[in-house]
Amino acid sequence: MLKVLTFLIFFLFSKNSLAVSEKYNNLFIGDSNIDLANIKKLFADINATYIPGYGGDTFMIIDNLNGIEPYLSDSLENIYILVGTNDLFVRNANFKTIYLNLNKIFDYLTINSNAKLHLYELLPRTTHKENIVIKDYNLYVSDNLKSVNEYNVNYVKLFSEFYDESINSKNETLYSDAIHLYQIGQTKLRQITLLNIKNIK
């Protein structure tokens, strides 16, 4: 019994220590578009990682903030966050609630890491009605970050880069389905992110 208990403790410690021991410079936190993007390969040249199966919405993140802790190594320079779509369209949360949740996440990250925080705009979806909501939400977040940005969060513009004004919808060539980026869309996300890193240095 003691051997089994010792093994379990070692296994859990090793699993939680893995990300720290690898000393990544860039961490991505977010919904399924982050989870499906193969971040380590997509951003191999900037030594990046992500937290698998974590960050579907802001509520999930704040319910398990300690799940981020193993990834907060001393070498971490940037943390990129893409979250909010599921808050809006699955949980039907209002803008203020989502933004307050984001601030709880920012607060935790600021206390536990010296890395620069970056928040992506939400990506467009299929219907015009959904995209009106997303545009309004992105503007709400932008305005709040401009007025009070105590966590010095860098807001990364995405929406217009993935939106097709002619059809009031997402750019279909960049998506594999209604909400998920195709490989070419993931490459575009990479380009925007690398440009962002270059511009803030």
Q: CB neighbours of 121 closer than 8 A, spacing ≥ 6?
A: 138, 141, 142, 155, 156, 157, 158, 159
Burial category of 110 from C-beta neighbours within 10 Å (exposed 0-12, middle 13-18, buried 19 and up): middle
Q: How far is CA 43 from the centre of its chain?
A: 14
- Which CATH number is 44's domain given? 3.40.50.1110
The number of distinct structural domains making up the chain is 1
If residue 28 lies in a helix (H) or strand (E), which one and from where to where? strand 26-30
Predicted confidence at residue 55, as pLDDT, reads 84
Query: Which residue, 112, 66, 104, 110, is CA-closest to 83?
Result: 104
Q: Which residues does residue 164 pair with via DSSP β-bridges, in sequence order?
A: 169
pTM of the model: 0.88
**Nearest Cα to 20, choosing from 66, 76, 80, 70?**
70
How far is it, in rounded angstroms, from Cα 17 to Cα 11? 10
Per-residue confidence (pLDDT) for residue 201, from 0 to 100: 65
pLDDT < 70 regions, the chain: 1-21, 201
What is the pLDDT, as a whole number, of residue 110?
97
Amino acid found at 176: S
Percent of the chain with pLDDT over 90: 79
* Count of beta carbons in the 10 Å neighbourhood of residue 85: 22
Tell me the per-residue pLDDT of 122-172, one tens digit each, with 9 for 90 and over. 999 999 999 999 999 999 999 999 998 899 999 999 999 999 989 889 999
Which residue range forms the structural domain that includes residue 7?
A: 2-200
Give dist(CA 188, CA 43) in Å, integer: 12
How confident is the model at residue 9, as a pLDDT?
35
How many CB atoms lie under 10 A from the CB of residue 2? Answer: 6
